Amino acid sequence: MTSNPATPPPPGQPFRREAKIPINPRRVRGGVRLKTKEGEPWESWVTERLFRVVEQASSGEALREGMEYARTGQTRRIDIEDGVAKVSVQGRAPRPYRVSVGLHRFTDEQRERVIAAMSDQAIYAAKLLAGELPTNIEDLLAPLELRLFPQDASDFEVTCTCKETNKPWCKHAVCASALLCERLGADPMLVFSLRGLDGEELIERLRERRVLAGRGSRPGDLYTPRPPGAMDDASPALEDCLEHFWEAGPGLEMVHLPIEKPDVGYVLLRRLGPSPFPEARFPLVGLLATCYELIGEQALSHPIGLLGPAPDAEDRGEDGASDSEDGPEAED
């Protein structure tokens, strides 16, 4: 004997079978999942700081299920577009839910103040130009009455297409936020994008301001690839100067290029990241860092050139030899 699957409808109304929602979510093949395992600490202080706010905002059950979704790969995709994370999370329903996670964006006036404050502080500008987010970045923004990282749930802008009652921090939003926090830990400059300040634009603006600040009232402090007036003359064809291409001409003395120790070491190596040859016999990054260090020390110890200044013409004899009295042909 079988039981009736649904309650009979009132007289005159058609019979409709209620759709059964599965107890477990529909599994996603190849979904996006957290790299950090349960019980392990976050690899980045950025991830830890951001996710702390998510934990405080969400309830216990939504937090537990959302983290399970994030670890088991229930997210079909996550994209950051115009400073907002667009996430597709597969739940129990046939279609995935659409989740968006963002932060309150800075106004145009606030963005200009942030860029000006960062460019005025050499250490902050140097680290940002090297792709590194300073841990004390909030100390710089505090006088502006701004903050880069969210302090509480009200700083987030979260939406989800599900019909759960614990909005906006449902389990789908928790899943999406956890994945976003981990991605921001791997690329901290994306935090500026969530605030409405594109990371590449920020770097370019900082670089321009640092150049202008270093220039001051002395235009000659800027590096000039060619001496003034050299652009007026037509350059010879490359094939006509191959024999003397690597020889330094008299114009090299007119180039002013101050040599000083950088605020942040190994900027290029930091931007390139780890070596693409993990199984190499020698640590490539370490070897290059040693080379940079030795070359830098030599450049600082010989400001005019690695080989030191050339002897003046008046110190030489007519035949180019030194006029030292201790020479082999010195007269008594």
Give domain limits for the chain. Answer: 45-204, 257-310
| pLDDT tens digits along 124-140 | 877 887 778 888 889 88
Q: How many CB atoms lie within 10 A of CB 30?
A: 7
| pTM strictly above 0.85 | no
| pLDDT band at residue 288 using 50, 70 and 90 as cut-offs | confident
Amino acid sitting at position 284? L
Of 80 and 233, which is predicted with more confidence? Answer: 80
Tokens for 109, please give them.
Answer: 């006036």
Highest mean pLDDT among 96-105, 116-125, 160-169, 191-200: 96-105
Of 168, 172, 20, nearest to 94 by C-alpha is 20
Q: How far apart are CA 130 and CA 267, in angstroms?
A: 5
pLDDT of 153 > 80? The answer is yes
**For the residues 275-286, what does the mean pLDDT come to?**
67
pLDDT of 90 > 90? The answer is yes
Cα 289 to chain center, whole Å? 21
Instruction: Give the single-character DSSP code of 47.
Output: H
**For the residues 253-261, what does the mean pLDDT come to?**
70
Q: How crowded is the C-beta side of 46, counted as CA atoms within 13 Å? A: 20
| pLDDT band at residue 74 using 50, 70 and 90 as cut-offs | very high
Please tell me the predicted confidence (pLDDT) of residue 280: 63
Please tell me the predicted confidence (pLDDT) of residue 59: 81
Please tell me the predicted confidence (pLDDT) of residue 49: 92
Beta-bridged to residue 202, according to DSSP, are none
**For the residues 210-229, what does the mean pLDDT come to?**
50
pLDDT of 2 > 70? The answer is no
pLDDT of 231 > 70? The answer is no
Of 92, 96, 72, nearest to 22 by C-alpha is 92
Of 192 and 285, which is predicted with more confidence? Answer: 192
| pLDDT band at residue 274 using 50, 70 and 90 as cut-offs | low
**For the residues 42-62, what does the mean pLDDT come to?**
90
Of 283 and 203, which is predicted with more confidence? Answer: 203
Range with the poorest average pLDDT among 190-194, 272-276, 328-332? 328-332
pLDDT of 122 > 60? The answer is yes
Asked if 257 and 234 count as a contact pair (C-beta separation under 8 A), the reply is no
**For the residues 188-205, what does the mean pLDDT come to?**
85
**For the residues 308-315, what does the mean pLDDT come to?**
47
Of 9 and 294, which is predicted with more confidence? Answer: 294
Asked if 104 and 153 count as a contact pair (C-beta separation under 8 A), the reply is no
Highest mean pLDDT among 15-19, 249-253, 317-321: 249-253
Asked if 170 and 59 count as a contact pair (C-beta separation under 8 A), the reply is no
Please tell me the predicted confidence (pLDDT) of residue 188: 87
**For the residues 114-124, what does the mean pLDDT come to?**
83
């002897």: which residue's tokens?
311
pLDDT of 112 > 50? The answer is yes
Q: How far apart are CA 202 and CA 193, in angstroms?
A: 9
Please tell me the predicted confidence (pLDDT) of residue 276: 67
Of 84 and 305, which is predicted with more confidence? Answer: 84
Of 158, 156, 149, nearest to 48 by C-alpha is 149
| pLDDT band at residue 9 using 50, 70 and 90 as cut-offs | low
Please tell me the predicted confidence (pLDDT) of residue 250: 72
Mean pLDDT for the chain?
Answer: 77
